Structure 1
Amino acid sequence: MQRPGVEGGYGDGVEAPAQRRELRLVGDEVLKMVAQTLLSNMRSFDFVFRWGGEEFIVIIANVDRQKLKNSAERLRVMAQNAAYKNGKDEIRVTVSIGGTMALPPDSIQSVLARIDEFMYMCKERGRNLCIVDGSVCHPE
């Protein structure tokens, strides 16, 4: 059955030759690049929100669990392959994504709690990972 799927992601790794201070100065630009990468790879009726700090929420309409996993893995790889150019330096980021299906009788709080739990699981397992409903996503 097709239902809404919700993914939460956060920038969890930065690879850059720049000094830490310089990195902070371009942090917002890097987040914009990640957001643009997400937006450009979603359907017109899906939604991408900056949730706070380095976190994003993605609401994907009409998916089943496997499609949600495929979407999460695709977005993770897209973010990993994107690069922000700061002069001659290139800044790369990775993301961890926690996803879940929104099913009755879910509340907004219960969905957000699950994606937060799955993002934490990604962090514990080394980051640059996606977990949907407790299961690690693997490329098809």
Structure 2
Amino acid sequence: MTSPTPKSAAESLPLVLLENLPQGLYYVDENRRILHWSPAAERITGWRREEVLGRFCGEGVLEHLDEEGRELCGDRCPLLMAARLGAECRSEVFLKHRRGHRVPVQIEAAPVRNGDGSLKGMVESFWDNTRHLRLAEEKARLERLALLDPLTGAGNRRAGMDQLQRALDAQQRYETVTGVVMLDIDHFKRINDRFGHETGDDVLRMVAETLAGSLRSTDFLARWGGEEFLAILPHTTEALLPRVVGRLLRLVHRSGVEHPEGRIRVTVSAGVTALQAGDTVHELVDRADRLLYLAKQEGRNRFRFDGRNSGQEWGAT
């Protein structure tokens, strides 16, 4: 018995409907070989139809990660879960864009059955979960105020300073916990030296897009300078901060930039602190910088946190 070709499988679907859906959609056979890839899937993921048809979805295409940055393409694959349960499965995951950064999406996976009830394949639809309208509005505001880093799309250093001062002012009024995270790409000079500055710029954009895509709409990201980024996380807790930063490090570590020599993957180190009464912007930045330095000294690909769990660190595996 021969397997259906991508063309014949696609022709058997209601193409007019599928091709015009606003959400991304792809269809796989029982072995997870991709047989249909919609235009919206191309738009959201950057992967062109001719690049993915006939490939297995776990072979470097989307590489789903859960909200904690853990891989899903093995036994926890949403498509396989839907096939096992015989029902639709919904979840929020991060997929890999063709350019390497992670995109948060909401997905729905469901089994597709033959007339006799046997499994024919699976279908997954997904919606871009990024905050397009809010981000576009914020980007326009920052551009008007010349507070945008032109390379990465994050705020620039001046924007970061302004946001830190606003956070300090809000802290005095509301006494909420605000986290400040200084992140630095590990061994970035080696990337520039080996692959050139154009590829280095691609890495900076990938890291910025991955970080921005996994932060809340109330959080703020700035490129502090060079390969260093500043994240401000208001309305959080000291217990939650290590989990959030650990997730950021995992997502960056499991992203990458495509290159003729192979995918370039990087890690980041971070210094994590929380606003304290009487802090100034300079004191905050200095404290986060010192913690970042400790993380670098202790092996990189980890963070140092000076909260209640003083000295907490995390290293990716």
Shared fold (TM-score, shorter chain, > 0.5) = yes
Aligned residue number for residue 6 of structure 1: 180
Greater RCO (CA < 8 Å, at least 6 residues apart): 1
- Per mean C-alpha deviation after superposition, the further-off stretch among 125-134 and 83-92 is 83-92
Say which of 44, 53, 61 aligns to 2:226: 53
Q: Does 1:137 align with 2:313?
A: yes
Larger Rg: 2
SS at the partner of 2:266? strand
Give me the identity figure in percent.
Answer: 33
Q: TM-score, normalised by structure 2?
A: 0.41
Aligned length: 137
The aligned residue for residue 124 of structure 1 is: 297
- Matched AA of 1:8: M
Amino acid at match of 2:219: D
- Which structure has more strand as a fraction of its residues? 1
Instruction: Give the secondary structure class of the aligned counterpart of 1:66.
Output: coil
Instruction: Name the aligned partner's letter for residue 136 of structure 1.
Output: Q
- CA RMSD after TM alignment: 2.1
**Structure 1 residue 138, shift from structure 2 partner:** 4.3
Instruction: Confirm or deny: 8 A CA contact 1:79 1:93 kept in the other structure.
Output: yes
Q: CA deviation at 1:89?
A: 1.8
Quote the Cα distance in structure 2 between the aligned partners of 1:49 and 1:19: 21
Structure 1 unmatched ranges of 5 or more: none
Question: Which one-letter code corresponds to 1:55 in the other structure?
Answer: E
2:213 to 40, 55, 58: 40
Q: What's the counterpart of residue 255 of structure 2?
A: 82
| Deviating 4+ runs (over 6 angstroms) | none
Residue pairs, 1:106-121, within 5 angstroms: 106-121=279-294
**Is contact 2:295-2:313 (8 Å) kept?**
no
CA distance in 2, matches of 1:115, 1:95: 14
Q: What is the identity, as a one-letter code, of the residue corresponding to 1:43? A: R
Given that 1:13 and 1:128 are in contact with CA atoms closer than 8 Å, whether structure 2 keeps it comes out as no
In structure 2, stretches of 5+ residues that fail to align are: 1-174
1:129–1:136 contact (8 Å) kept in structure 2: no
Aligned-partner Cα distance in 2 for 1:117–1:111: 10
Q: Return the TM-score normalized by structure 1.
A: 0.89
